Amino acid sequence: AQPVLAVVGRPNVGKSTLVNRILGRREAVVQDVPGVTRDRVAYDAFWAGRRFTLVDTGGWEPDATGLQASVAAQAEIAMATADAVLLVIDASVGATATDEAASKVLRRSKKPVLLVANKVDDDRLLADTASLWSLGLGEPHPVSALHGRSSGDLLDAIVKAL
Ligand code: GDP
Ligand code: MG
């Protein structure tokens, strides 16, 4: 079976946009309204001669107090069921308590975890992404899922990790 890559993170950080960027087509549902992605949708992806299954997560998140727990739970599930995990952060917001909770879960992973700093649409936010080293998941990968900036570099890192 082909390796499975799960994409996790808070609502609205751009998980589905990134999934579409990786797929090279618009299949994952992108919405300004958080929570529109149904739980765990799988797609076939292909890069540099490697096939893998890409799992977009989302789900209907509950009230604000439940958000941190539900993102952490998604991270647990991803860690248990996928071969590698992408944690997506909104670099225009920076690391939130929810991002930190998800990171804490994923730091226990024996599988590869890649930290994606999304929404780096231009150079302005590049320097800030260095602060995301504090999440303890290694080097942040700055990308703009919307514009495609550095998504090739991220895909290279992904297939190396799988
Ligand atoms: P998800 O809830 O994590 O799946 O996030 P979505 O993919 O649905 O995106 C949420 C919002 O963020 C949408 O309005 C996207 O257009 C926007 N978005 C996603 N990626 C980027 C990006 O790289 N730059 C900017 N500026 N906006 C983005
Ligand atoms: Mg989504």
Q: Is the pLDDT of residue 13 over 70?
A: yes
pLDDT reported for residue 27: 73
Q: What angle do CA 59, 85, 103 make, to 5 degrees?
A: 80
pLDDT more than 70, % of the chain: 90
The answer to whether residues 96 and 103 touch, using CB atoms and an 8 Å cutoff, is no
- Give the chain's radius of gyration (CA, Å): 14
Q: Is the pLDDT of residue 35 over 70?
A: no
Q: Is the pLDDT of residue 145 over 80?
A: yes
Give CA 47 to chain center in angstroms. Answer: 17
Write out the two tokens for 96: 């939130």
Residue type, 86: L
How far is the centre of ligand 1, averaged over its atoms, from the C-alpha of 36 (Å)?
12
- Pocket-testing residue among 13, 15, 17, 92, ligand 1, by greatest number of atoms within 8 A of Cβ: 17
Q: Residue 146: CB within 6 Å of ligand 1?
A: yes
Per domain, the residue ranges of the chain are 4-161
Q: Residue 151: CB within 6 Å of ligand 1?
A: no
The CATH class of the 4-161 domain is alpha beta
Q: For residues 83 and 111, what is the distance between their CA atoms, to the nearest angstrom?
A: 6
pLDDT reported for residue 28: 75
pTM of the model: 0.93
pLDDT reported for residue 99: 96
Q: Residue 11: CB within 6 Å of ligand 1?
A: yes
pLDDT reported for residue 126: 93
pLDDT reported for residue 8: 94
The pLDDT tens digits of the residues spanning 114-140 come to: 999 999 999 999 999 999 999 999 999
How far is the centre of ligand 1, averaged over its atoms, from the C-alpha of 82 (Å)?
23
